[in-house]
C-alpha cells in the first residue's frame, strides 16, 4: 500500500494547493497519451509548506520519474488570490535539480502520494518526498531559510535528530566531492532539529500543565 499525504492533513493553503494543481495540469497538457502516469516528486519550500503550513513559497521545486520536455517557463506561472485576499504568484522552477542536493538513493521510493482532487491528473501523479529526505535536501545549500525549514519539520515531529543522522550517513556515500562543509552543515542541522523538537515538547508540556 502506497504511503499518502492525505488531503485532510495537508497544511498548505487551499488557494496555493489549487495553484500547484493548475501547474501540474499545464505540464500534463503538453504530454502525449501515456500508458501509465509520470511521478512528480515535490521538494523544497513548497513541500515544507504542505507538511507544516510554514513559509508559503512562490516556487515549485520538483523532479520527475521520467525525462520530459516542459512547457515554456512563462506558461508555468499561475496567479491566485491568497487567504488574505492579496494577489499571489507561484511558478515552476525550471532550474531545480536533485543532482546538487544531499539525497538518499531511495528518496523516490519512500515518497508519499499527495491526495486531493486539485492534484488529480491522468498523466501526472504528485508525490512529496519524505520529511527526513526533505530535511537532507536542505543541508548542501543550508541557507537561513533551509535551517528554518528543518526546524519547522522538527517542531511538527516529522523528523528527529537520530533519523536525520542515520539517513545522511547513507546519502553521503552517494555524494561526490569534499564532504567537510557538508558534515559541518549536518552537525548544525541535527542540533537545529534537536533544539526545535525539545522546545516543541516543552510547549506541549506547558499546555498540559495549564489544563
Q: What is the pLDDT of residues 166-189, one digit of tens each?
A: 999 999 999 988 999 999 999 999
Mean pLDDT, range 122-143, rounded to an integer: 97
Mean pLDDT of the chain: 92
Q: Is the pLDDT of residue 106 over 90?
A: yes
Q: Is the pLDDT of residue 201 over 50?
A: yes
Q: What is the pLDDT of residues 37-87, one digit of tens each?
A: 999 999 999 999 999 998 889 999 999 999 999 999 999 999 999 888 999
Q: Is the pLDDT of residue 209 over 70?
A: no
% the chain with pLDDT above 70:
94
Asked if 2 contacts 113 with a C-beta cutoff of 8 angstroms, the reply is yes
User: Helix, strand or coil for residue 134?
Assistant: helix
Q: Is the pLDDT of residue 16 over 90?
A: yes
Q: Domain range holding 69?
A: 4-210
User: Helix, strand or coil for residue 88?
Assistant: strand
d(CA 86, CA 141): 31
Asked if 20 contacts 119 with a C-beta cutoff of 8 angstroms, the reply is yes
Instruction: Quote the number of domains for the chain.
Output: 1
Written in H, E and C, the secondary structure of 132-183 is HHHHHHCCCCCCHHHHHHHHHHHHCCCCCHHHHHHHHHHHHHHCCCCCHHHH
Amino acid at each position: 500500500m502506497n504511503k499518502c499525504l492525505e488531503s485532510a492533513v495537508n497544511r498548505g493553503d487551499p488557494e496555493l494547493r489549487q495553484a500547484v494543481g493548475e501547474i501540474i495540469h499545464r505540464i500534463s497538457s503538453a504530454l502525449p497519451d501515456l500508458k501509465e502516469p509520470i511521478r512528480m516528486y515535490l521538494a523544497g519550500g513548497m513541500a515544507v509548506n504542505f507538511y507544516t503550513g510554514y513559509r508559503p513559497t512562490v516556487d515549485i521545486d520538483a523532479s520527475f520519474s521520467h525525462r520530459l520536455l516542459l512547457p515554456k517557463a512563462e506558461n508555468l506561472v499561475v496567479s491566485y488570490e491568497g487567504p488574505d485576499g492579496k494577489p499571489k504568484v507561484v511558478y515552476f522552477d525550471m532550474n531545480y535539480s536533485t543532482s546538487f542536493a544531499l539525497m538518499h538513493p531511495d528518496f523516490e521510493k519512500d515518497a508519499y502520494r499527495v491526495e486531493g482532487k486539485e492534484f488529480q491528473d491522468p498523466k501526472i501523479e504528485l508525490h512529496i518526498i519524505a520529511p527526513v529526505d526533505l530535511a537532507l535536501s536542505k543541508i548542501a545549500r543550508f541557507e537561513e531559510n533551509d535551517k528554518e525549514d528543518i526546524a519547522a519539520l522538527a517542531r511538527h515531529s516529522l523528523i528527529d535528530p537520530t533519523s536525520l543522522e542515520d539517513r545522511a550517513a547513507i546519502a553521503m556515500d552517494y555524494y561526490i566531492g569534499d564532504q567537510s562543509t557538508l558534515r559541518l552543515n549536518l552537525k548544525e542541522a541535527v542540533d537545529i532539529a534537536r533544539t526545535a523538537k525539545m522546545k516543541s515538547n516543552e510547549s506541549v508540556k506547558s499546555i498540559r500543565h495549564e489544563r
